[in-house]
Amino acid sequence: MSLFDMSGEVALITGSSRGIGRAIAEAMAQQGAKVVISSRKQDACDAAAAEINDEFGAGTAIAVAANISSKEDLQTLANEARAAFGKVSVLVCNAASSPYYGPGLGISDEQFRKTMDNNILSNHWLIAMVAPEMLERGAGSIIIISSIGGLKGSPIIGAYGISKAADMQIARNFAVEFGPRGVRVNCVAPGLIRTDMARALWEDPENLKRSTASSTLKRIGEPHEIAGAAVFLASKAGAFTTGQTIVCDGGATISGGV
């Protein structure tokens, strides 16, 4: 059996109708997992789940729309995942917000709160909703998609970076708390990836030039290039890894890229 085999696992992945979350859902389905597709719009979730079911077999994916800013939506998401598949054994907190690009002193209170609520509080809520069943079974993997923005300062996405640094600490705290009962908690920190959320960064010619010039691979990443790290952390291959942040950034942080 492959170390990366996920047969028998049920992965709930937020923000998974497109981008990094969609790539993770497809990669986990390919490894045999059942996947719960979720984002704000039901039609987008339905379309993504249908394509995964067409490729990997009927019943592989279900679609449950949820707004991560709503605790009630997230509880419904967790409940429907369990109703469909009997459990949640892998949680991927991928959905996030970055509503402001610019100097830190220019962000509004509303934009700052939205960033913190969607990128930190929603993860805490969802972890609290699924961790108890994992702890009871004595097994499970929780993965937060953080960012290299949480490892360095920025003049344009400072609040986002604050939230992503907090996600790394959430993973460390819960890894300590949950580890004795067999549940692992980790982060993946992507660099600049070609997603809709990061469009303001990679569509800016000067920022793109600066980022690719100072990274060792000389390019930005694609969503599927983050999925492998998530599969590693969710599968037997990552069974001895917890409380860590895996950086997938094309060498940007080691060489000064953004």
Cite the active site residues: 160
Q: Rounded to the nearest 10 degrees, what angle do helices 158-178 and 122-137 cross at?
A: 20
Task: Give the separation between CA 98 and CA 114, rounded to whole angstroms.
Answer: 8
| C-alpha torsion sign, points 50, 52, 56, 58 | negative
DSSP string spanning 1-49? --TT--TT-EEEEET-SSHHHHHHHHHHHHTT-EEEEE-S-HHHHHHHH
Q: Which residues pair with 38 in a beta bridge?
A: 14
Query: What's the DSSP call for residue 213?
Result: H
Task: Give the separation between CA 80 and CA 160, rounded to whole angstroms.
Answer: 30
* The CA-based dihedral angle spanning residues 104, 105, 109, 110, taken in that order and rounded to the nearest 10 degrees: -60
Q: Which helix (H) or strand (E) holds 207?
A: helix 205-214
Comparing C-alpha atoms, which of 169, 59, 84 is closest to residue 119? 169
Beta strands in the chain (DSSP E): 10-14, 34-38, 61-63, 90-93, 140-145, 183-190, 245-248
| C-alpha torsion sign, points 53, 81, 35, 8 | negative
